[in-house]
């Protein structure tokens, strides 16, 4: 099979998890990685670091158009969003990657540049935005909506009808009650139980405690 060449942007721990999924999926051939300049010439799981972020326009101009952002996201989506916009502005393509060990309902939608990782479940009527991470064993229940540039972490549960605003991070094992809205650019800590809606730029870390506003 003649597989499409794919370049990964970011060479850390999240990248390693993405490589595992891309290899198992079998639709793309990893042509190399972009990472920090001092990492050029090194390898990640046997794949070479062939350049840095500044090389994206030249790679696209040379016909290497398919990219996946494999930089992780915890507190801020800023860097992932900037890379996504740079690739799109240059005419690059960001495919959707779904692990063969995940399940995405045929009645759900997952937008470009998003990766759905091992064991994740995206149920009927759910909508996942662009450039998101739906991490291992995460559950996005029926009719939930996740905005662009979000990270839904490992074993997180978004119950039915939940809405997560763009650029937000929902930590490992966090649970949201149904129909809750998490405002854009918010951070929900690991293990948190979100019982009520949160305004934009919230930092919510406890079991029902009042949210704080993020600094900066």
- CA–CA gap between residue 93 and residue 24 (Å, rounded): 21
Which tokens in the block code for residue 17? 């998890």
Q: What residues have CB less than 8 Å from 188, skipping those under 6 apart?
A: 168, 169, 170, 171, 174, 176, 182, 194, 198, 202, 204, 205
Q: Which of 43, 41, 115 is nearest to 72 (CA)?
A: 115
Of 142, 149, 151, 185, the catalytic one is 142
4 DSSP β-pair partners: 28
181 DSSP β-pair partners: 163
Whether 69 and 85 have beta carbons less than 8 Å apart is answered as no
**Catalytic annotation on 142?**
yes
- In what helix (H) or strand (E) does residue 59 lie, and over which residues does it extend? helix 56-61
Catalytic residues, which ones? 142
């Amino acid at each position: 099979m003649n597989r499409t060449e794919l370049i990964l942007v970011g060479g850390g721990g999240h990248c390693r998890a993405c490589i595992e999924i891309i290899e198992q999926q079998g639709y793309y051939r990893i042509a190399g990685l972009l990472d920090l300049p001092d990492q050029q010439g090194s390898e990640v799981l046997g794949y070479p670091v062939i350049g840095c972020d500044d090389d994206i326009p030249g790679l696209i101009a040379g016909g290497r158009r398919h990219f996946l952002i494999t930089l992780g996201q915890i507190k801020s989506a800023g860097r992932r969003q900037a890379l996504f916009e740079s690739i799109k502005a240059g005419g690059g393509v960001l495919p959707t990657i779904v692990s063969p060990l995940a399940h995405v309902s045929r009645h759900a939608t997952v937008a470009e540049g998003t990766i759905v990782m091992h064991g994740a479940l995206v149920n009927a009527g759910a909508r996942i935005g662009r450039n998101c991470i739906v991490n291992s064993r995460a559950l996005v229940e029926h009719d939930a909506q996740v905005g662009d540039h979000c990270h839904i972490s490992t074993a997180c549960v978004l119950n039915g009808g939940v809405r997560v605003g763009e650029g937000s991070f929902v930590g490992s094992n966090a649970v949201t009650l149904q129909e809750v809205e998490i405002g854009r650019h918010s951070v929900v800590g690991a293990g948190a139980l979100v019982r009520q809606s949160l305004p934009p730029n919230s930092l919510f870390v406890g079991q029902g405690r009042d949210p704080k506003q993020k600094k900066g």
